[in-house]
Amino acid sequence: MPQADLSLEELRRYDPQLPAPADLEQFWRATLDEAGEWPLDATWTPVDSGLVTVETHDVTFAGAGGSPVRAWLHLPAGAVRGDGPLPGVVQFMGYNGGRGLPHEHVFWASAGFAHLVVDTRGQGSGWTVGDTADPVGSAAAQPGFLTRGVLDPRDYYYRRVYTDATRALEVLRGHPQVDADRVAVAGISQGGGVALAVSALAGGVRAVMADVPFLCDFPRATRIAAGDPYGEIVRYLKAHRDRVQRVFATLSYFDAAVLGRLSSAPALFSVALMDEICPPSTVFAAHAAYAGPKDITVYPFNDHEGGEAHQQREQLDWLRGVLAAPSAALPAGPPAGPPAGPPAARTRAV
């Protein structure tokens, strides 16, 4: 497919300065305080994946509202027998994907990391399986997840998803074999957007890896994306013509191109210039808003698959470099605002 968005030169300058809700930080502090009333109650059950280089545990913990969330914990074989604390990666999944089968996601454990692969509640019946229900209902919505509860940020589906994700970070940082000061968050598409949200909302994020992230710059995405998932919002507003302002007001609480202003950890983005699902301008909007040190890798001839194995290699080298550098004190929660002065940024093309 052809490049249908802005040119790369225009993308590098694109910075929409999306308005943030006046109570954005208060909303998320109250949300996470509410979630904190539930103990994590994490359980770790060894499973036999059939692999000899990776040890896997079936994980359950209490997410938003105390609802159980499932995950896999992968460790390098032998790590549970005491080779010292491991760096960690918390991985969030793409749209309608789940944690999958125990042997599906073992790259990071094979590279020496503790790797938590987290379900997205209610999802996991698309390209891979999941095991986490979403017991909360919603008013009438389009098929899919983007419009569930979209008339009120307190009821919105992604309020629960982002809360689950911040608690997943707590789970991995609290594992006895993990170095709590060396834990990164990562994901592709929806998982990349969720990782960006966690970097803004949770304390203790050492690094962020967001590949072709979804959930960015909703106002533009809904107008130029070729199809779903952003099309769910389009169809909803096509029916509910009187709710446009209300819907976008809710979405602004969850937009990675808004929340990124609260982030401070180093971040590695990737973008594909022929992406028809997450238009590249929406990724650059999130990159421009991100307040921490940041790099972005550009794949000029790729669609939403992005860099795939090439990006994994890039991530591994980048993350090892970040973890080898002296770290600043990790924040205890959402900062009061973006840091003073412009953040460092680099753009790389492959």
Q: Which of 67, 189, 263, 264 is catalytic?
A: 189
> How does DSSP classify residue 43?
E
Q: Which of 148, 201, 152 is nearest to 31 (CA)?
A: 201
Catalytic-role residue among 115, 255, 275, 281: 275
| DSSP-based helix, strand, coil % in the chain, nearest 5 | 35, 20, 45
- Tokens standing for 222? 């809904």
Inter-axis angle of helices 190-201 and 157-173, nearest 10: 70
Q: Is 253 annotated as a binding residue?
A: no
Look up residue 162 and give its two tokens: 């982002």
- Clarify whether 103 is annotated catalytic: no
Q: Which residues contact 348 (CB under 8 A, 6 or more apart)?
A: 295, 296, 297, 298
Peptide bond into 229 cis (omega under 30): yes
Q: Is 189 a catalytic residue?
A: yes
Taking the C-alpha atoms of residue 206 and residue 131, their distance in angstroms, rounded to an integer, is 28
> Is 83 among the catalytic positions?
no
Sorted by sequence, the CB contacts under 8 Å of residue 205 that are 6+ apart come out as 169, 183, 184, 185, 198, 199, 263, 265, 330
Q: DSSP letters of 222-279?
A: HHH--STTHHHHHHHHHH-GGGHHHHHHHHTTT-HHHHGGG--S-EEEEEETT-SSS-
The binding site consists of 95
The residues annotated as belonging to the active site are 189, 275, 304
Q: Specify binding-site residues for substrate.
A: 95
